[in-house]
Structure 1
C-alpha cells in the first residue's frame, strides 16, 4: 500500500509517496509553491494540483492523505488555529481537503509530523525501546511534537507538545500568544539575535554571534550564548520532568548548535528532578527537511 503525505508550508507544498510494503521506500516527491498571499482557496487549488500531478506521474490515486500543517485542527470545532499562514486560521481545512480530493484526510501539526517521522524513520530507529519520543523545533520559533508508542499525542485541545509557549523568563519579552517570556521569546533564533542587539547595540546574525563566541574576546557574544545554554537547560529539564521521554530529537536551525549537546546537556542536570542525573539521549535529526512530509505520510 502507498502512503501519501503532504507538507503544507508557508512558501512550498510538498507531496511524498512512500511504499509501505517495501520498507517505506520513497516512490516520488514533488513540490509546488504555496503562494499563500493569494488566499485560502488558492492554497486548496495548489494542493489539488500537486496531488493530481503526483497521481498522474505514478499512475495511481491516493486512498487517503496525511497532512503536516503549520498550525492545528481544533478537535472540537474542526477549524484551524495557531497557523503562521494566517489565512488558514478559522477554516475547516480537513473538511475542505476531503471535499476537493475525494478521499479521507488526517491532519497534524508539522512539529508532530517531524517527531513521528524521526521516531519511525530517523534517529528513533536506533532507539526502538523508546516508548516516548519528543521532537523539539528550535529555529525561527520554538515548537514540539509528542509521540507515544509510535502515535502522535495531539491532546485534548490539539496543542500536545507546544512547549514553546510556556513561560521561561519572568517579565521577559512579550509574545504574540499574549504572554511574556515564553520559551520562544528566549531561545529561538530571532530572540537570541534580539538579545545580542540589546546588550551590544549592534545587529548581528546568530551565525556571526556564534562565530564571535568561538573566537573569544566578544563579551556580548559570550553573554548571548551563555543565556542560550542556561535557558535551554531549564526548558528541556521541564520536558524531562513531565514526560521523561526515551529520546529527544532537536530540529530547526538553532538545534544545529553543537554546544546544546555538550554544555547544554550538562546544564539540564542543574534543573532536573533526578538528583542531577540525566541519561536521556538528545540527538540531531536524521531526516532533515524531509521529516515533515514523511511524517504526514505516516499519519
Structure 2
C-alpha cells in the first residue's frame, strides 16, 4: 500500500500541458505521492498559446484526470489563471464542485495573510507586447524540446542532466535584472498591503526568500515550473518548503498502472463525476 504525504497546501504552476517541454509524468509521480487539503494551480497549467491538436499526449491527459480525481475525493482545487491559460479568465469566480477558478487568492494561514497570483500582470513584456512574448514562448518551446533530446542522450551515458534554458538565462545580464526587478516589484507591493507571504509563478524560478524594505518584510515564494525545475511549494506545520522532484522524489510513487490506458472518454467521465457532486451540493 502506498503511503501518501499529508500536507495542508500544495502549489504548482507553469506546467504547460500541450507543449513538448512539459514533463507530465514527473508531475503525476508527485501528485500520486501527496494528499493535500488544498491544491493550488497557480497559472499556466494548460498552454493555450501553443496548444496544438497534433500534440497532447496521454500523459498530459492523465494530469487533468488526476486533478479531477483529487477534486472528487474532496481536495479543494483552486485554479488561478495565468497568461498562457488567460482564456479561463472569462470564467473567473466560477465554482464547480471542489474546483474554483480565480484570478487571485488570499488565505489566512495561522494568523498570517498569504497572497497568491500567477504574476504575469507585473510583466511589462506581456502587457505591452504580447505578440513578442508569444514568439519568445515558441522559441522557448523549441529550446526545451532540443534539451529533452540532449538529456535523453546524457542519461543513456550515465551523465547528469543539463538545462540549456537555464544556461541562456544565467548568461544574460538582462534576464537576471528582469528576475530581480520582478521579485522586487511583487515583494514591495506585498509589504505595502501587509501580506506576510506572496506566492507566484510565471518566471520559472523556484524561490523562497524573505524580502525587506524600509516599510517592512514579506516572504517571497515562487513555485517554479514543471518544464525544467520540476518544483512545487508545500505548506505544512505552519511552514513553507520548496519540493524539488530531482532531489525529493519518492521511489515508490509512479504513474498509476490503472491510468496507462486512459482515453478522452475517461477524462469526460471524471468531469461528469465532479459536476454530479456539484448538483448534490445544490
Asked if TM exceeds 0.5, the reply is no
Judging by fraction of residues, say which structure has more strand: 2
TM-score (normalizing by structure 1): 0.34
Structure index of larger Rg: 1
Higher relative CO (CA 8 A, sep ≥ 6), structure 1 or 2?
2
